[in-house]
């Protein structure tokens, strides 16, 4: 189902005084009620895009439209201030006032918007119940856990029913277990509110758990847009493949689409879906197989050079014996109870259906 666009970003650019381009000609839409994540490493431009949407940064070029209203346009000289954009913003550091109670913190945004006292009380109660903080109205930030502080910041941003909620790595200060729980709670909340959200993170697992769609960015440019499954399973290029979880990536010396093979220097492998513009191939560690011998296609001999236990599986690093001189190392996730030992010589197979050609 195609969602009606609520946010339209067109040809957005942002350059700093140094001449560096933080955002380079970015285009995307966000549908009504959609959760979109901006995902990428530090310095890729994702937070700058979020700040441009909020009105905290002035774009160098392009336009931003929210709800059919132009919020910024360099060509037309339009720049709507943050307080008139109707968006909520959740900061990475929560930005809670230490002297204000939970109730007063959430109510403050409503007071600034001129809401009467009785309406403020009703809206604060509703927001706190939505984030499951009912009964904690009188507490100060110092009396709350990190997860509770994060939810206060979220309640403050949704209390006045903004058209869009913008979130800048809101879970980065939480421990691993709490992050896993809270990201599911955030998705539940946004879907319950039918809220439109743009969520910035560098955590791939977080993005995939929360988002309806992901935008993967690098150096101010969009590398791929798609559902979490699409981006993870069918990366557009080597950068996306490497960023979206562990991948073994090999430069393609030659590619022959007619025969369905790719030469990666130390061996040649069959692929199920060849492409003429292949620049590299990738395979995820979970898809690499350990086999008894070299009779199957795409199998080769390798030596185990390292092994570590990660709870649910063993991570095994192997070096193909045909490539020992160039120090090729690839990762294998082994879920069996008896994995090979370090120093063992084994047989490894790349199933053709899991060996994915990538463009440059």
pLDDT in tens, 231-278: 998 899 999 998 987 789 998 877 677 778 899 988 999 998 888 888
> Sheet holding 254-256: strands in order across?
254-256, 261-263, 268-270
Long-range contacts at 27-30 (CB < 8 A, ≥ 24 apart): 27/222, 28/215, 28/222, 28/225, 29/5, 30/5, 30/6, 30/164, 30/196, 30/198
DSSP-based three-state secondary structure for 305: strand
Nearest in space to 269 (alpha carbons), one of 279, 254, 247, 289: 254
Q: Which residue has the higher pLDDT, 74 or 144?
A: 144
User: What is the per-residue pLDDT across 297-314, written as a single tens digit (0 to 9) for each?
Assistant: 999 999 999 999 988 899
- CA–CA distance, 356 with 12 (Å, rounded to integer): 32
pLDDT at residue 285, rounded to an integer: 94
Q: Which of 28-32, 85-89, 196-200, 211-215 has the lowest mean pLDDT?
A: 85-89
pLDDT-derived band at 48 (thresholds 50, 70, 90) equals: very high
User: What is the per-residue pLDDT across 84-132, written as a single tens digit (0 to 9) for each?
Assistant: 998 999 888 878 889 999 999 999 888 888 889 999 999 999 989 888 8
Q: Which residues pair with 327 in a beta bridge?
A: none
Q: Which residues pair with 221 in a beta bridge?
A: 218
Task: Give me the architecture of the 246-358 domain, per CATH.
Answer: Beta Barrel (2.40)
pLDDT at residue 50, rounded to an integer: 97
Task: Give me the architecture of the 5-238 domain, per CATH.
Answer: 3-Layer(aba) Sandwich (3.40)
pLDDT-derived band at 317 (thresholds 50, 70, 90) equals: very high
Q: What is the pTM of this model?
A: 0.86
Say if residues 321 and 303 touch (Cβ distance below 8 Å).
yes
Half-sphere exposure in the Cβ direction for 341 (13 Å, CA): 1
- CA–CA distance, 118 with 103 (Å, rounded to integer): 13
Question: Average pLDDT over the chain, rounded to whole?
Answer: 90
- CA–CA distance, 305 with 324 (Å, rounded to integer): 11
pLDDT-derived band at 56 (thresholds 50, 70, 90) equals: very high
pLDDT at residue 1, rounded to an integer: 52
Q: Which of 46-55, 110-119, 172-181, 197-206 has the lowest mean pLDDT?
A: 172-181
pLDDT at residue 87, rounded to an integer: 93
Q: Which of 256-294 are b and which e, b meaning 16 or more Cβ less than 10 Å from the residue's Cβ?
A: eeeeebbebebbebbbeebeeebebbbbbbebbebeeee
Cα torsion 133, 179, 240, 90 to 10°: value is 30
Say if residues 216 and 222 touch (Cβ distance below 8 Å).
yes
**Largest CA-CA distance found in the chain, in angstroms, rounded:** 77
pLDDT at residue 3, rounded to an integer: 64
pLDDT over threshold 60, residue 226? yes
pLDDT over threshold 70, residue 8? yes
User: What is the per-residue pLDDT across 135-181, written as a single tens digit (0 to 9) for each?
Assistant: 999 999 899 988 888 889 888 988 888 889 999 998 887 788 878 88
Compute the radius of gyration of the chain from its Cα atoms. Answer: 25
* Start and end residues for every CATH 3.40.50.300 domain found in the chain: 5-238
> Sheet holding 314-320: strands in order across?
289-291, 345-349, 299-309, 314-320, 330-334
Q: Which of 15-19, 21-25, 256-260, 269-273 has the lowest mean pLDDT?
A: 256-260
The pLDDT > 90 percentage for the chain reads 57
Average pLDDT over residues 70-88: 91
pLDDT at residue 130, rounded to an integer: 84
- CA–CA distance, 167 with 51 (Å, rounded to integer): 10
pLDDT at residue 341, rounded to an integer: 92
pLDDT-derived band at 326 (thresholds 50, 70, 90) equals: low
Half-sphere exposure in the Cβ direction for 235 (13 Å, CA): 29
pLDDT-derived band at 325 (thresholds 50, 70, 90) equals: low
Q: How far is C-alpha 274 from the chain's CA centre?
A: 28
How many other β-carbons are positioned within 10 Å of the β-carbon of residue 317? 17
């Amino acid at each position: 189902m195609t969602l009606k666009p609520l946010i339209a970003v067109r040809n957005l650019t942002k350059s700093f005084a140094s001449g560096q381009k933080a955002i380079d000609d970015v285009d995307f839409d966000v549908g009504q009620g959609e959760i979109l994540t901006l995902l990428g490493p530090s310095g890729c431009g994702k937070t700058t895009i979020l700040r441009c949407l909020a009105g905290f940064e002035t774009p160098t070029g392009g336009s931003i439209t929210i709800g059919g209203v132009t919020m910024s346009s360099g060509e037309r000289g339009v720049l709507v201030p943050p307080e008139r954009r109707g968006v909520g913003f959740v900061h990475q550091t929560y930005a809670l006032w230490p002297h204000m109670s939970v109730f007063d913190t959430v109510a403050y945004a409503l007071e600034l918007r001129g809401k009467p006292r009785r309406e403020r009380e009703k809206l604060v109660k509703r927001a706190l119940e939505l984030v499951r903080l009912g009964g904690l109205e009188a507490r100060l930030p110092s009396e709350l856990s990190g997860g509770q502080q994060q939810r206060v910041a979220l309640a403050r941003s949704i209390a006045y029913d903004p058209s869009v909620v913008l979130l800048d790595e809101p879970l980065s200060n939480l421990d691993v277990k709490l992050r896993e729980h809270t990201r599911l709670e955030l998705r539940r909340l946004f879907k319950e509110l039918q809220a439109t959200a743009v969520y910035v993170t560098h955590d791939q697992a977080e993005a995939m758990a929360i988002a309806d769609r992901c935008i993967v960015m690098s150096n101010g440019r969009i590398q791929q847009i798609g559902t979490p499954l699409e981006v993870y399973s069918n990366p557009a290029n080597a950068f996306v493949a490497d960023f979206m979880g562990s991948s073994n990536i090999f430069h393609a010396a030659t590619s022959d689409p007619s025969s369905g093979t790719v030469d990666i220097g130390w061996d040649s492998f069959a692929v199920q879906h060849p492409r003429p513009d292949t620049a590299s191939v990738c395979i995820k560690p979970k898809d690499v197989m350990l086999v008894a011998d070299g009779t199957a296609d795409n199998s080769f001999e390798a030596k185990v050079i390292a092994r570590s236990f990660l709870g649910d599986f063993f991570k095994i690093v192997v070096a193909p014996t045909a490539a020992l001189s160039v120090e090729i190392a690839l990762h294998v996730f082994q879920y069996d109870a008896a994995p090979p030992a370090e120093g063992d010589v084994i047989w490894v197979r790349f199933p053709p259906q899991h060996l994915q050609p990538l463009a440059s």
